[in-house]
Amino acid sequence: MTAAYLELTGQGRPLGQAHGEHFRDTIKVFTETFADLNLSNTPAKITKSDLVDLCLRNVPYLSRSSPELFEEMTGIAEGAKVPLSEIVLLNCFLEINDIRAPLVTNRVVSERNWGCTTFNLKPRATLEKKPFLGQTYDMEKYFADFNLILKITGPDGHKKLVYTMAGILGLNGLNDYGLALVINKLVPTDSQAGVIYPLLTRKALDQKILSDALSVLTFAPRASGMCYQLSSADGLAFCLETTARQHALIDFRYSQAHANHYLEPSLRPLEADWLTQGGSYVRQQVAQELLDDFQGQVTVEHLKKLCQDHTNKPRSLCAHAYESDRDFEAFATIAAVIFEPSLGVMRFADCHPCEQTFTSFSLN
């Protein structure tokens, strides 16, 4: 598979309209099937209307946090000729998972659940003394059909590369100020109406310096929890764990791997246990040890091999679903990305990185 690629220019509503119009057919398929996936994986008596209502609670926070990005969402809906509520629902795709925390027990999901693994390397950790940032992105295989790379040029001429899905603002990315961002989903028990992760990701990538991006993520009225790993071309790097209301920085000197559980002891009491589980602990340890084993000597090739690692398969860094799984329930790696902020380069593998070549995209 090869992810779709689109170059866009502008901001706000016109930018969204171009996105929505170009991927209209794909977005329509996405909106027509997305709720079915969530309803089939949530053993509770809820409807699509319940999901939409849950997501629409976030709208006032979105429009206040970034009127421009909310206008972009509105434009996507207009370009795709779908209701805005459907685009809001898509953009809440990870926040929706929080409803599983009180509704689903480990007995239901423990054999099917995976998650993303991120890695953040300061210059002193690498052979060329340059920073790197990356992740595997794990979801139900269904989502891979909507993978998309956007290269966005703003009115001021500055550019960003964004990995996302059709109809969604952004999942991770890199800008030409030398800032990069990746994420892990974390599930806290204090989720609330608030600002959702795709909007926060894009707003952070609109910043010129890392401290401003960090402020965007730290002080927003967040809807849920996330680990945000950030890196900059000048060698700064941060690992930020958040719940909806609290946050903590994970200190590291060389490199930091992260999975889907809180590392900060003060946040663990707020952790819902359905996403954490043993697989998250194993992936975090395996990734960290792969980085530590080559401390000061890590190269891009090492990071590609990390993304392809099958230790503890199928719940590995490169995750593979069970053969008997339907796409709606089959968790797997749907993408892998490696950012090189100092060069403005994204290396991207669509679906399983063990089976795909990493393709390079450049801001220059």
Report domain extents, the chain.
4-107, 111-362
Residue 99: predicted pLDDT: 67
Residue 35 half-sphere exposure toward CB, CA atoms < 13 A: 18
Residue 38: predicted pLDDT: 78
Name the band, by pLDDT with cuts 50, 70 and 90, for residue 108: very low
Which residue intervals of 41-156 are DSSP H helices? Answer: 48-56, 59-65, 67-80, 84-91, 100-103, 106-109
Residue 111 has pLDDT above 70, yes or no: no
Residue 91 has pLDDT above 70, yes or no: yes
pLDDT digits (tens, 9 = 90+) for 304-353: 999 999 999 988 999 998 877 776 778 899 999 999 999 999 999 999 99
**Tokens coding 136:** 């595997």
Q: Which of 204, 248, 83 lies closest to 196, judged by CA?
A: 204
202 DSSP β-pair partners: none
Mean pLDDT on 87-104? 79
Mean pLDDT computed over every residue of the chain: 92
Three-state helix/strand/coil letters over 31-47: HHHHHHHHHHCCCCCCC
Mean pLDDT on 114-120? 92
Alpha-carbon gap, residue 164 to 170, rounded angstroms: 5
For domain 111-362, the question of CATH label 3.40.50.620 is answered with no
Residue 96 has pLDDT above 80, yes or no: yes
pLDDT digits (tens, 9 = 90+) for 174-220: 999 999 999 999 999 999 999 999 999 999 999 999 999 999 999 99
Q: Which of 129, 139, 117, 137 lies closest to 256, judged by CA?
A: 117
Report the predicted TM-score, pTM, of the whole model to 2 decimal places.
0.95
Please state which of the ranges 167-176, 264-273, 293-302, 322-331 shows the lowest mean pLDDT: 322-331
Alpha-carbon gap, residue 168 to 312, rounded angstroms: 32
Mean pLDDT on 288-308? 98
